[in-house]
Structure 1
Amino acid sequence: MDIRLIWLAVGTFAIGAESFGIASLLPQIAESTGVSLTQAGYLVLVFALANAFGAPVLAALTGTVDRRRTLTVAALVFSASALGAALSHGYFDLMAARVLMAFSAGLYSATAQATGVAIVSPDHRARAISVIVGGTTMAVAFGAPLGAFVGGALGWRGAYFMVAGFGIVAALALWVMLPAGLRGAPLSLRQRVAAIALPGVPPALLTTWLTMTGAFVIIIYLASITTQSVGLPKSLVPAVLLTFGIGAAIGNFIGGQLADRLGPNRTILGTVILMVVLQLAISEVPLLPTTVAGPVFFGVVFLWGVAGWGFFPPQSSHLLSLSPASAPLVLSLNASALYLGIAAGSLIGGLVLQFGTVNDLGWVGALFPAVALALFALRAQMRPRPAFSRFG
């Protein structure tokens, strides 16, 4: 494996550690900045929207710029923004820092995938993308719980100092390891967005959006579910995130294996069904006796991590099969759909907390992958079937 892919993945690890680690920091941030938990959740909403819409624009503007320079600058801006978040004086300062983080994170992720594809042979492109995206998986598995641990020991500002350090390491490594003069094709924003019209791509992106919306209704408030709904102590929040992350790492591996053996569509269907069941279970766990609610919750969170991250490899494989020649464009659109799902999930989760309770987050989150299942079944019925002669 090309060692340069590992350093590209370090950057996606830093981004993922912040993006997923903030779930454990929201209660602290709300208390520190004097806002409600719902308002703190809007920090996730704004980040996701800035990433979803900013990444395609910035990728189009920097498409012909030396990719080593683009990646290094993006990583440095991300680190500087994380430092700005750590040193922010209030809610709106923190929000401004996260918007800048989102722009640099979106540019980095889009450019990293395109660079990974460019520096390997054509028959290793999918593997290169999986390594780079694997940085995000490792961030979910270990970066987010590490951020929760640091946040518990040093406060949420300490967690942002840690993220800034990861970004600086990635920037220095990329400047040293990547070749200079590697440039992309001059694609306009219109050309990039046009990939959304490719056959089969719109329903696939809708599936990504629905599943991510449902997941992030729950994920960004997982710390509150752990303490307020299930009744576990705050000290166990990092352990819950680690459990979810280990499940995610296992799911990422299993999802790729099953997609190769059973096909992407069957694997996608299975993981989405599991997401519906497990997200419903999150609302049911608090109804159990106190002595068993905790262990069952850890089990549900683990399996949910397996199912949720088992979805991504077959979904990426499905998108690649739809348009192999436009792989970077289609995958970047999938990333935008993912972040739009994060945005929608954070908004809906906040509304649930405003008008309902923490216990409602699980079943509300389950509604969205359930809709994805219904659309999946509808498309299967509408798919033309081969006609057979009565005489065979």
Structure 2
Amino acid sequence: MPVALLALAIGAFGIGTTEFVMMGVLPQTAADFHIDIPTAGYFISAYALGVVIGAPLLTALAVRLPRKTMLLAMMGLFTLGNGLFALSPNQGFGVAFRFLAGLPHGAFFGAGAVVASSMAKPGQRAKAVSMMFMGLTLANVIGVPLGTLLGQQVGWRATFGVVAVIGLVAAAAIAKLVPHQGRPAETSLRGELGAFRRPQVWLALAIVTFGLGGVFACLSYITPMLTDVAGYSPANVTLLLSLAGVGMTLGNYLGGRLADRALMPGLYAALLALAAVLGIFTITAQGKVGAAITIFFVGVAGFMIGPMMQARIMEKAGGTPSLVSAAVQSAFNIANSIGASLGGLVIAGGLGLVAPNWVGASLAVLGLSIALFSGTLDRREARAAEQRELALAS
């Protein structure tokens, strides 16, 4: 694989760390700002909203920029947002700066996925994209646990200061390792928007939104779930988040390979497994061993979906992949926002800290239903194409 993928993976590592470490340091952040845990969930939702808005907006504004320039600009904005968040004087500024930090997320991954795919050999494009996303999953093995530990020992502000430094390292690596891409040939905003006329593109975005919403309903409240229900100490949460990250890394690896071989059957299996494991987690969360095993499989099942959906939507977009690729990240973070919000609602409603797992299982089932419908449309379109070919032959 091209060495330039390493630079993209470093950027993905920084983005993954800032997105998911918020869940690990949520209690410390809430205590610092003198707010409760559900209210602190707005830091998660604000970041997600930034991604949702920033992915299409920044991609559209920069549609004619060389993609390397786009990647560098997004890393610069990412670094600024996280640095400012680390200095937030109050909750209001904190929410605003988390929103700012989220703006470049989707546009970076959208451009990065196209760059990674363009550098890969035929038949290995989904694998190349998954290698970039490996940085995202490794963030959950290394970045999030260490960031959580740093937040517990030194303070959450130190965690996001380090994230800003990672952004600077990623920008330097991109400048050094990613080859000049040139201006996208024959690309226009109108052409990119045209991809959204295709129903399968919208179905793919819906699968991401609801399927991965199930993951975030669980992960957004994983720290209080593990400490207050399973009985782990806050120090042990670091190791458990690392275990979840190992599951995510394995899931990303498997998803990238399935996407090149049997995309839709693999997607059905991943969504079904996710629904099952989240349902099981409502029971296993009551014990330490069961909780640890289950959170690993939540990571595996949930993060198999990402590379498969990235490959699916780029395939359905045809020759205009940049905006729809970025839109996957919007959908991913709408999923984050929906999961965090619904999870917070059931907790605030008195249903208990494990209740978000039931929400997650329901969302995964909804995502599976949409995927099955999308697969049915594929088969109908294939049969119609065969009939047209037979009619022309006769």
More displaced stretch, 11-20 vs 174-183: 174-183
Q: Report the Cα distance in structure 2 between the residues aligned to 1:9 and 1:386, rounded to whole angstroms.
A: 40
The answer for unaligned runs of 5 or more in structure 2 is 385-394
Q: Report the Cα distance in structure 2 between the residues aligned to 1:258 and 1:102, rounded to whole angstroms.
A: 29
More displaced stretch, 373-382 vs 57-66: 373-382
Partner of 2:25, secondary structure, is: helix
> Which deviations, in whole Å up to 9, do the C-alpha atoms of 1:141-171 show, x marking residues without a partner?
3221121122122111111111111101111
Equivalent residue, structure 2, for 1:294: 288
Equivalent residue, structure 2, for 1:312: 306
Q: Report the Cα distance in structure 2 between the residues aligned to 1:146 and 1:30, rounded to whole angstroms.
A: 19
Equivalent residue, structure 1, for 2:195: 195
* Letter aligned with residue 298 of structure 1: A
Question: C-alpha displacement at 1:184, in angstroms?
Answer: 2.7
More displaced stretch, 12-21 vs 196-205: 196-205
Equivalent residue, structure 1, for 2:354: 359
Q: Report the Cα distance in structure 1 between the residues aligned to 2:232 and 2:45, rounded to whole angstroms.
A: 27
- Confirm whether residue 334 of structure 1 aligns to residue 328 of structure 2: yes
Question: C-alpha displacement at 1:319, in angstroms?
Answer: 2.9
- Confirm whether residue 371 of structure 1 aligns to residue 370 of structure 2: no
Question: C-alpha displacement at 1:178, in angstroms?
Answer: 3.5
Percent identity, aligned pairs only, is 28
* Letter aligned with residue 269 of structure 1: Y
More displaced stretch, 216-225 vs 378-387: 378-387
Q: Is the 8 Å Cα contact of residues 199 and 322 (structure 1) preserved in structure 2?
A: no
Q: Report the Cα distance in structure 2 between the residues aligned to 1:264 and 1:41, rounded to whole angstroms.
A: 34
TM-aligned CA distance change 1:173 to 1:229, over 3 Å: same
The answer for unaligned runs of 5 or more in structure 1 is 288-292, 388-392
Q: Is the 8 Å Cα contact of residues 60 and 187 (structure 1) preserved in structure 2?
A: no
Q: Report the Cα distance in structure 1 between the residues aligned to 2:271 and 2:360, rounded to whole angstroms.
A: 12
* Letter aligned with residue 160 of structure 1: F
Q: Is the 8 Å Cα contact of residues 217 and 359 (structure 2) preserved in structure 1?
A: yes
Q: Is the 8 Å Cα contact of residues 258 and 267 (structure 1) preserved in structure 2?
A: yes
Q: Is the 8 Å Cα contact of residues 82 and 163 (structure 1) preserved in structure 2?
A: yes
Equivalent residue, structure 2, for 1:242: 242
Partner of 1:311, secondary structure, is: helix
Equivalent residue, structure 2, for 1:349: 343
- Aligned pairs for 1:169-318 within 5 A: 169-180=169-180, 182-185=182-185, 187=187, 189-261=189-261, 263-287=262-286, 293-318=287-312
Relative to the length of structure 1, the TM-score reads 0.89
* Letter aligned with residue 219 of structure 1: L
Q: Is the 8 Å Cα contact of residues 247 and 305 (structure 1) preserved in structure 2?
A: yes
- Aligned pairs for 1:4-83 within 5 A: 4-83=4-83
Q: Report the Cα distance in structure 2 between the residues aligned to 1:314 and 1:69, rounded to whole angstroms.
A: 27
Relative to the length of structure 2, the TM-score reads 0.89
Question: C-alpha displacement at 1:110, in angstroms?
Answer: 2.4
Partner of 2:184, secondary structure, is: coil
Equivalent residue, structure 1, for 2:319: 325
Q: Report the Cα distance in structure 2 between the residues aligned to 1:128 and 1:140, rounded to whole angstroms.
A: 20
Q: Is the 8 Å Cα contact of residues 59 and 107 (structure 2) preserved in structure 1?
A: yes
More displaced stretch, 141-150 vs 180-189: 180-189
More displaced stretch, 23-32 vs 371-380: 371-380
Q: Is the 8 Å Cα contact of residues 283 and 362 (structure 1) preserved in structure 2?
A: yes
> Which deviations, in whole Å up to 9, do the C-alpha atoms of 1:242-289 show, x marking residues without a partner?
11110111112223334445x1111111111111111112211245xx
* RMSD over aligned Cα atoms: 2.4
TM-aligned CA distance change 1:156 to 1:355, over 3 Å: same
Equivalent residue, structure 2, for 1:290: none
Q: Report the Cα distance in structure 2 between the residues aligned to 1:239 and 1:376, rounded to whole angstroms.
A: 34
Question: C-alpha displacement at 1:237, in angstroms?
Answer: 0.9
Q: Is the 8 Å Cα contact of residues 213 and 341 (structure 1) preserved in structure 2?
A: yes
* Letter aligned with residue 274 of structure 2: M
